[in-house]
Amino acid sequence: MNSTGNSKPVSTNQNGIHKDLDAIVRKHCAHEDRTPIPTFVEDSLDLITQKHRETARPLWLDSFCGTGMSTRLLASAHPDYLIVGVDQSTHRLAAEPQTEGDNFLLVRSDCESLWRLMARQKIKLAHHTLFYPNPWPKAAHLKRRVHGNASFQALLALSDQLELRTNWNIYASEFDYALTLSNWISQRQPITPSQVLTRFEAKYSRSGHTLWQIKAHRQS
């Protein structure tokens, strides 16, 4: 990872919100995603469920956690929660030796499949954070972004509140718009964190990028 503070801003062939976003979000919210769940994702949920049973604390998912820096920091700031960091990269998860603590757990999984499986099992999260998911900045890659993916409906079913951070203004605007379409109340703003929560956040801050935060909750 580039740690020198000269990370380039996201480069894209989009001028603003993707023209197909509206139709894609409406389609995904109208139809349940029945994509099969890989076995390794079922295994990852077994690990989470076991830890959840042991700790008996409200569950907070930290999706796309990378090395788990945010997971560890959130766990020490919120001892009454079980914080579970999820990332697909074994390499990133192994960057720091400890993958489990009193109130945190790091698991290798695929976020989108895990959200689907948790939603099917009606698992409820107390909170959900998604810090700097891959932007997929080419217009053709809209469906790989969290809000353009068929798993978006499952993501929304899991919790009544969530927070996403990104260094790409269009991603922030699209996510904000997709939430609003889904009847969520969403607030998008640039932030200067008093404590950096992730490795990418540190890199983007050093590089002078604007950091966008979306905080949202379900409309009651």
- Judged by CB under 6 A, does residue 112 bind ligand SAM? yes
- Judged by CB under 6 A, does residue 92 bind ligand SAM? yes
Sheet with 211-218, side-by-side order of all strands? 100-101, 104-108, 82-87, 59-63, 127-131, 161-166, 211-218, 184-191
Binding-site residue total for ligand SAM (CB under 6 A)? 19
For 184-201, letters b (16+ CB in 10 Å) and e give: bebebeeeeeeebbbbbb
∠ CA(65), CA(133), CA(9), 5° rounding?
Answer: 120
Secondary structure (3-state) at 62: strand
Query: Which residues in the 131-170 window bind ligand SAM by CB under 6 A?
Result: 131-134
Secondary structure (3-state) at 178: helix
The closest of 109, 39, 38 to 68, measured between CA atoms, is 109
Q: Cβ of residue 183: shortest distance to ligand SAM, in angstroms?
A: 25
- Judged by CB under 6 A, does residue 111 bind ligand SAM? yes
- Judged by CB under 6 A, does residue 66 bind ligand SAM? yes
Q: Cβ of residue 61: shortest distance to ligand SAM, in angstroms?
A: 11
**Closer residue to ligand SAM in complex, CB, 185/208:** 208
**Closer residue to ligand SAM in complex, CB, 24/106:** 106
| Lookup: tokens for 137 | 């900045």
- Judged by CB under 6 A, does residue 88 bind ligand SAM? yes
Among 116, 127, 188, 199, binds ligand SAM (CB under 6 A): 199
Interacting residues with ligand SAM (CB under 6 A) = 64-66, 86-89, 92, 110-112, 131-134, 198-201
